[in-house]
Amino acid sequence: MTDTNTTNENETQDYRSNSLGRLTMRRIFRQRSAVIGGTILIFLILVAIFAPAIAPYSPEEVLIGKEDVSKREGPCIHLLGCDEEKPQHILGVDGNVRDQFSRLVYGTRYSLYIGFTSVGFAIIVGTILGAIAGYASSWPDNLIMRFMDVLLAFPSLLLAIAIVTVLGRGLQNALLAIAIVSIPVYARVVRASVLSVKEQEFVAASRALGGSHFHILFRRILPNAISPLIVQGTLGIASAILSAAALSFLGLGAQPPTPEWGTMLGSERNQVFSAPHLVFFPGLAIMLTVLAFNLLGDGLRDAIDPRLK
């Protein structure tokens, strides 16, 4: 999926600017998958921000008695020859007679929110644990990493289901569960990079200058160990969105009438034969969002660290 035909011509162009940031940006823009993923993501962010302007209805507005539509009616698009007399619902209406398109548009907000917050939390905790494990070695390393092994031994979705059951249903708890389940991945990534960075000479120099452990770890080592984390984080958002949608689908995450895609899919799943549009579009939206983060993550990986390909 990646385009790595870095020709000599391009290499020479790179010397025009010697800023590391600009160099990296240029490398990222050369990755086709990063550009496609980034474009989809920007589009989704715009949809999320301007949801009230894009959605013709409020996502929780029940249209019974307000319009002449019936439960689970299929899409009606005037441009495609739907009767002009009828109200336009480009993706149809759902089981509670709400406009499916508006709900889908607002759902973007939930998906992005879920992805960023749960991964953000997991990265913070995972980084601290992984950094301590990698820097301290000996028993803290053993203790932390063995516990991470235990968490990794459970299939992640099942562990998340169990945690949600303990904490109680709901979007916040589902987020927390997904964050907890994904901590080991980040802890491992950070530990691995800390282990390799801490042997380098500038760390020894910092230590010789009398830097505290805290200073050496957080100001010297971590900033140099962060790039695999960015890649892993982007890919992690993709799987977090997927897991959160699965939890909601099972009725453990966001609760109705929240316009969350997994919830929308879950509550109409028995209607797949009679009203397929209510199942098809939310799933497509989940897939598109997850795809965007996956493509972006792949592209970033190839741009930042070609060795990992």
Partner 1 sequence: MLQYTIRRLLLSIPVIFGILVVTFVMARSIPGEPCKAMLGEKATAEVCERFTREHGLDKPIPVQFGIYMKDILQGNFGKSIRFSRPVSDILIERLPTTIELGLIALIIATVIGVPLGVISAVRRNSAVDVGTMIGANIGVSMPVYWLGLMLAYVFALLLKDTIFWLPPSGRLSAGLAVIPFYEYYGWNLAAGSASQTVAEFISNLFIVNSILIGDWVVLGDVVKHLILPSMALATIPLAIIARITRSSMLEVLRQDYIRTARAKGLVERFVILKHAFRNALLPIATIIGLQVGTLFAGAVLTETIFGLAGVGRMLYEAITARDFPIVQAFTVVIAVGYVLINLMVDLTYVFIDPRIRLE
Q: Is 273 a residue that touches partner 1 (CB under 8 A)? A: yes
Q: Near partner 1 by CB under 8 A, which window of 46-54, 58-66, 162-170, 187-195?
A: 162-170
- What lies within 8 Å, CB to CB, of 15 at 6+ separation is none
CB 156 within 8 A of CB 216: no
> Is the CB of 77 or the CB of 150 nearer to partner 1?
150
- Choose, by CB under 8 A, the member of 165, 172, 196, 200 that binds partner 1: 165
Tell me which stretch binds partner 1 (CB under 8 A): 56-64, 91-99, 215-223, 290-298: 290-298
CA 135, CA 196: separation in Å to the nearest integer? 10
Q: How far is CA 216 from CA 42, 145, 204, 230, in A?
A: 36, 21, 9, 21
Could you say whether residue 110 binds partner 1 (CB under 8 A)?
no
> Considering only residues 31, 33, 100, 263, which one is a binding residue for partner 1 as defined by CB under 8 A?
33
Closest CA to 62 of 38, 96, 87, 37: 96
| 163 lines the binding site for partner 1 (CB under 8 A) | yes
Stretch that binds partner 1, among 6-14, 53-61, 216-224, 289-297 (CB under 8 A): 289-297
Residue with tokens 């316009």: 259
With contact defined as beta carbons under 8 Å apart, do 261 and 282 qualify? yes
Instruction: Map the footprint of partner 1 across residues 225-264, applying CB under 8 A.
Output: 238, 242, 245-246, 249-250, 252, 262
- Per-position DSSP letters for 52-80, written without gaps between them: HHH-SS-TT---TTTSS--TT---B-GGG
Binding site for partner 1 (CB under 8 A): 1, 33, 146-147, 149-151, 153-158, 161-163, 165-166, 168, 238, 242, 245-246, 249-250, 252, 262, 265, 269, 272-273, 276, 279-280, 282-283, 286-288, 290-291, 294-295, 298, 309
